C-alpha cells in the first residue's frame, strides 16, 4: 500500500512538473510574455513606410517599453500606413506633439516604435492621434547616403557615349555612376583593356540633357567613402567646344591605389605614376 502511495504521489508530481514546464514555455518564452496585462488605451499614427514593423512590436519611450503595436493597416486610397498603438494606462501622459519614429534594434533586430515627447501641455487621449511621425528608411537609401554615392540614374532619356583612357581603373565596373559636381549624369557602359596601348578604355554613357560638357573636361576615378564603390567624376574644363557622341576625353586621372596613397603620405611625394606617359594624367 505504501508503495502504491509513493508512485501515485510521484505521478502527480510528474504531471504537475510537466504542466508547469508547459506553462513556463508558453508564457515566459513567447510573445505572450510581452502582452501587457494592465488596461491600455489606443493611439493612432500614420507612417509613410512601416518597413518590417509587425503587430505586437513594442512601443518604447526613452527605451522603456510602454505598450505595443495593436494593428497595422493601409489607409484606404492612400499610400499611408495607419498604425494603432496600444499604450499602458499608467503611461497616460504623452504630449500630443510627440513624434513616433520606427527604429530598428540592432542590425538583425526587430523594429519598434519609439516616441519622443513634445512640449505640449495637452496629453493624447484614448483614440487620439499622433500627427508627427518618422518612417523607416530602407537600408539601401541609408547606405547610399552614408557612402554618398547613390545609384546612377537608371531612367536616362537617351545617352551619348564618350571614351576615356585610364592607366588604372581600380575596381571600376560597368554600371558605376558618372558624376559631375557630385550629381549622377550617366553611367559606365563598359570597361575594357586596350591590347595595343595597354591601358583601360572606359566608355561612359552620359545623359543627353547634359550635352554642354567642354571637350577639355577631365575624368577621374574616385571612390565614394572608405569602402564605397568607385565612380567616374567629371571636372568641367574651359573649352568652348562641347563633347559629342564618340569623343574621347584626353585628360584623365586614374584610380588612386591605397598603396600609392600611403606611400605619398609617408615620403611626402609620389614615386610617380609609373605609366604616366600613357595617358596624360591631369595632376
Partner 1 sequence: MSAQTQRNVVTEALAQIGNCGLFLLTILKSVPRSFRYGRETVRQLWFVGAMSLTIIMTCGLFVGMVLGLQLYYVLSIFGGTAASGTVVAIAIYRELGPVVTALLFAGRAGTSITAEIGLMRATDQIAAMEMMAVDPIAYVVAPRFLAGLVAMPLLCSVFCALGVFGGHLVGVTWLGIDNGTFWSNMTANVDVWKDVVNGVIYKSVAFGAVVSLIAVFQGYTTPPTSEGVAYATTRTVVASSIAILALDFVLTAFLM
Which residues contact partner 1 (rule: CB under 8 A)?
4, 7-8, 10-11, 13-15, 17-19, 21-22, 24-26, 28-34, 57-58, 106-110
Helices (H), the chain: 2-28, 139-147, 258-267
DSSP string, 99-115: EEEEEESSSSPPEEEEE
> Between residues 19 and 146, which has the closer beta carbon with respect to partner 1?
19
**Best CA proximity match to 161, nearest among 181, 132, 189:** 189
Write down the least CB distance from residue 90 to partner 1, Å: 20
Write down the least CB distance from residue 25 to partner 1, Å: 5
Cα separation, 145 vs 137, in Å, equals 11
Cα separation, 13 vs 35, in Å, equals 30
Write down the least CB distance from residue 9 to partner 1, Å: 9
First-residue to last-residue Cα distance in the chain: 102
Write down the least CB distance from residue 262 to partner 1, Å: 28
> Between residues 28 and 93, which has the closer beta carbon with respect to partner 1?
28
Cα separation, 44 vs 46, in Å, equals 7
> Between residues 35 and 171, which has the closer beta carbon with respect to partner 1?
35
Write down the least CB distance from residue 72 to partner 1, Å: 16
Write down the least CB distance from residue 148 to partner 1, Å: 24
> Between residues 103 and 222, which has the closer beta carbon with respect to partner 1?
103
Cα separation, 150 vs 164, in Å, equals 22
Cα separation, 139 vs 168, in Å, equals 32
Phi and psi for 105 in degrees, rounded to 5? Answer: -90, 110
Q: Could you tell me how many residues make up the chain?
A: 283
> Between residues 36 and 203, which has the closer beta carbon with respect to partner 1?
36
> Between residues 4 and 121, which has the closer beta carbon with respect to partner 1?
4
Element at 195 (helix H, strand E): none
Amino acid at each position: 500500500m505504501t508503495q502504491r502511495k509513493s508512485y501515485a504521489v510521484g505521478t502527480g508530481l510528474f504531471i504537475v512538473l510537466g504542466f508547469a514546464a508547459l506553462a513556463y514555455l508558453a508564457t515566459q518564452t513567447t510573445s505572450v510574455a510581452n502582452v501587457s496585462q494592465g488596461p491600455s488605451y489606443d493611439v493612432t499614427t500614420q507612417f509613410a513606410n512601416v518597413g518590417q514593423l509587425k503587430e505586437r512590436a513594442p512601443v518604447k519611450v526613452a527605451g522603456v517599453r510602454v505598450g505595443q503595436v495593436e494593428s497595422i493597416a493601409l489607409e484606404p486610397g492612400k499610400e499611408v500606413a495607419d498604425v494603432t498603438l496600444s499604450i499602458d494606462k499608467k503611461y497616460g501622459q504623452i504630449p500630443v506633439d510627440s513624434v513616433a519614429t520606427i527604429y530598428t534594434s540592432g542590425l538583425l533586430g526587430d523594429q519598434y516604435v519609439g516616441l519622443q515627447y513634445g512640449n505640449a501641455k495637452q496629453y493624447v487621449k484614448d483614440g487620439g492621434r499622433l500627427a508627427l511621425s518618422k518612417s523607416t528608411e530602407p537600408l539601401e537609401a541609408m547606405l547610399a547616403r552614408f557612402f554618398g554615392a547613390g545609384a546612377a540614374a537608371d531612367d536616362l532619356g537617351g545617352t551619348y557615349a564618350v571614351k576615356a583612357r585610364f592607366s588604372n581603373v581600380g575596381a571600376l565596373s560597368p554600371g558605376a555612376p558618372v558624376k559631375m559636381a557630385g550629381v549622377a549624369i550617366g553611367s559606365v557602359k563598359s570597361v575594357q583593356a586596350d591590347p595595343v596601348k595597354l591601358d583601360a578604355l572606359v566608355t561612359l554613357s552620359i545623359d543627353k540633357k547634359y550635352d554642354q560638357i567642354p571637350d577639355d573636361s577631365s575624368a577621374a576615378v574616385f571612390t565614394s567613402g572608405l569602402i564605397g564603390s568607385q565612380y567616374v567624376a567629371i571636372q568641367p574644363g574651359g573649352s568652348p567646344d562641347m563633347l559629342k557622341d564618340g569623343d574621347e576625353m584626353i585628360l584623365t586621372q586614374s584610380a588612386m591605389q591605397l598603396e600609392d596613397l600611403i606611400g605619398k603620405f609617408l615620403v611626402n611625394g609620389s614615386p610617380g605614376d609609373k605609366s604616366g606617359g600613357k595617358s596624360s594624367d591631369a595632376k
